[in-house]
Amino acid sequence: MKPLSNEARNVKSCPFCKELIAGGATICSHCGSNVVVPKAKKKRPFLFRDFMLGVYVATAFWLYLIIKYFR
């Protein structure tokens, strides 16, 4: 008979001490550390960052001046 995998037994390993703990555990029973890792903040795409907003406004301003000058 083959042993069950970690997913089948509903266990996970602690990211700090690497011991097996229950799947829904928030604190490791071996080392006492908090095993719930906060989710990383999702980055906005480059074209929608604050810096690019400045580039868009500056480009629109310069286009406005060029069109006004050559009219």
pLDDT per residue as tens, the chain (71 positions):
566 565 556 888 888 888 888 888 888 888 888 887 777 888 888 778 888 888 999 999 999 999 999 88
Q: Is residue 34 within 8 Å of 16, Cβ to Cβ?
A: no
Q: What is the CA radius of gyration of the chain?
A: 27
Structure tokens at 10: 């509903």
Structure tokens at 30: 């071996």
**Residue 19: which of 5, 30, 9 has the closest Cα?**
30
* pTM, rounded to two decimals: 0.42
- Phi and psi torsions of 62, nearest 5°: -65, -40
